[in-house]
Amino acid sequence: MDESHHALLTIGVAMMVGVLCQSVARHIRFPAIILLLVAGAVLGPEGLSWVHPRSLGAGLFGLVELGIAIILFEGGLNLQASRLRRQERPIRLLITIGAVITMTGAGLASFWIMGWPWQLALLFGSLVIVTGPTVVTPLLRDMRLHPRLKTILEAEGVLIDPVGAIAASIALQIVLAPSVTDEITPALIAIAQRLGFGLIAGVGGGCLLGGILKVRRIIPHGLENIFALAFVLLLFTGCEAVFRNSGILAVTVAGIAVGWLSKNSERGLQEFKDQLTILLVGVLFILLAADIRLADITSLGLKGALVVVALVVLVRPICVFISTSGSNLSAREKCFIGWVAPRGIVAAAITSLTADVLSSQGVENSAQLRGLVFLTITGTVCLAGLTARPLAAMLKLTLPSRDRVAILSADGLGIMLGDELKSHNVPVVFLDSDPKRCRAAQDRGHTVVYGDALEESTLIRAQFESVGTAIGLTHNDHLNSLFVRHAREYFGVPVGLVALETMPNGKIPKHIEKIHGKVLFDGPHDSERWDVRWRHDQVKVEYFLYEPPEKPAGVTKEFTSDIPAGSSAVNERYVILAIKRGKSMQVMSFGFAFKKDDIATVAIYKPEFDQAVANMKSNGWQHPAAVELKLDEGKPA
């Protein structure tokens, strides 16, 4: 097979296997990087020989650099500026003083244990400064960790990458210098130039891109994502052409700026970058792992393992203790941050680039340097992946389960729904900006948060980290969808329900599908009319038992809440508020598939009570007194 075919097969196999490994990791909740490292070693020249990174020639490192640029831009895009400000001090110290401590500690460990020259030891220390956002973020995704801990770890992972890249570049310059003393002043000047230029270019480029994306007419609809991708790559390569290693800082800062400026248009961009990042992480890890020789790692022996242990049990805890001193973090939180510091794709990529330069210059131990960094990556990722979750639970740093229901608007339908959920021991919190409605809900024993529900501070006061279902139930469809979108994007609320007054053609509107939301209740309703009825005591809450109608021969379709014309969705005779199935109670949503013995909580307009009951019975709902007995099952004593 010629080299061109090797290159094509290498890229194709790396892409497919990279995505498969991350898919499997998601299913089994296992660190994807471990699977990627194993897959790369198995598929590489020393294994099945399906992946030959060196067949890409110089293109390998070009692909690595561009991939890192996109990954770090996406990382910056996901950082929320408001949360960064609240934890500004520990984050700032971790990526400055903490980086110096890590570099020094790791350098001393490799100097004493491995017996390397101090220049090479310094280079190793600079290479392991970074913690991997592509490892930390998936690791924390399902852990239900306290938000400030999650913010600190994710922000450190993203922001320290450019710091580590620049430090590694300067350390490499010192290693290759004929006279170290002659390089100290130029090195300091180079640091200032790269940091300053990268920061200015990142802010300027991010503001420009964010401004362009914010004005919808500039870039035609559908082209925003590829425009942003091209812009990021141009920003990175342009900065690299001016000052080497300044581009990595520029794209990270630009990502933060774009996320801050283009709030209305960043969702589609974020989803696009998320998927692209998954692809790139898989490809890069497969290629870089395949490029490692097993002998480079085994030759390290026990000394290599001792260096990794020193990094984990000595260097990292000291770094965190000093960097977080004076903060409001508890000892348990500091302990957790000190334990979780997995290295990822950026460390692997920079190391491969650095080792290639050292090898071309004939520097001894360049292969061992790469082997030790990859051993550090594997060790820290395995340790964090296998122990972070039980450690967080042991230290009691995880949030309670997402069992709370948040309802926007403490009025008619919302109060009736809240009363029913509360009676079945489901925690409910109301959000409203009307003092009268807030007081009325509080008088009924509900938890109420007063304020603008679109403000993050209001959602924080409502403890949205514990909310599992967010319900927009105002008279404004747009406000309802915005509320649900904020809850899902900023707090990861799993279920979002949006109240609508109309639903053209019986289809869920695209803006609700886009935020992965559902239509509240059994379909669209005039919530304002129901609020007026409730205030005038014209609404009665009743319970119905579901007995599926017999299906005609050959019909297999499940009965769902797709209400036919002429029912409550049109004449507003009743609203199905919630469904009790067994001992669980859940809010009703359009399209819900009913099962035998389901019990529905239904708000009925009193003047049309008989017609409403008849409508319900025609759809398989019975109204016997026995429902009350079934309903009591599962209620708190």
- pLDDT per residue as tens digits for the range 9-57: 888 899 999 889 888 887 877 777 788 888 988 998 888 888 888 888 7
Q: Rounding to the nearest 10 degrees, give the CA dihedral for residues 5, 6, 7, 13.
A: 100
Q: Taking a C-beta distance cutoff of 8 angstroms, is the pair 292, 41 a contact?
A: yes
Q: Look at residue 315 and tell me whether its pLDDT is greater than 90.
A: yes
- pLDDT per residue as tens digits for the range 554-592: 444 444 544 443 334 446 888 888 888 877 888 888 888
- Enter the tokens of residue 321: 């203790």
- For range 92-104, the mean pLDDT: 89
- For range 327-335, the mean pLDDT: 87
d(CA 67, CA 64): 5
Indicate the SS3 state at residue 447. Answer: strand
Using alpha carbons, list the distances in angstroms from residue 223 to 79, 208, 254, 272, 493: 24, 16, 19, 11, 29
Largest distance between two CA atoms of the chain = 96
Q: Look at residue 266 and tell me whether its pLDDT is greater than 60.
A: no
Q: Which residues lie closer than 8 Å to 243 by C-beta, 6 or more apart?
A: 190, 193, 194, 197, 198
Q: For residue 262, what pLDDT is reported?
A: 63
- For range 144-149, the mean pLDDT: 77
User: Ranked by mean pLDDT, which of 258-272, 369-383, 557-571 comes out on top?
Assistant: 369-383
d(CA 468, CA 244): 46
630-632-637 Cα angle (round to 5): 150
The whole model's pTM is what? 0.68
Confidence of residue 302 (pLDDT cuts 50, 70, 90): very high
Reference 103, options 120, 83, 128; nearest CA is 128
Query: Which residues lie across from 407 on neighbouring strands?
Result: 430, 471
| Helices 224-242 + 180-214 axis angle, to 10 | 160
Mean pLDDT value across the chain: 80
Q: For residue 559, what pLDDT is reported?
A: 46
Q: For residue 374, what pLDDT is reported?
A: 86
- For range 539-557, the mean pLDDT: 69
Q: For residue 626, what pLDDT is reported?
A: 45
Q: Taking a C-beta distance cutoff of 8 angstroms, is the pair 529, 539 a contact?
A: no
The residue behind tokens 């809450």 is 541
* Domains within the chain, CATH numbers bracketed: 3-394 (1.20.1530.20), 404-632 (3.40.50.720)
- pLDDT per residue as tens digits for the range 340-353: 888 877 787 788 77
Confidence of residue 308 (pLDDT cuts 50, 70, 90): very high
Query: Which residues lie across from 601 on neighbouring strands?
Result: 543, 578
Q: H or E element: which one contains 283?
A: helix 266-290
Percent of the chain scoring above 70 in pLDDT: 86
Percent of the chain scoring above 90 in pLDDT: 8
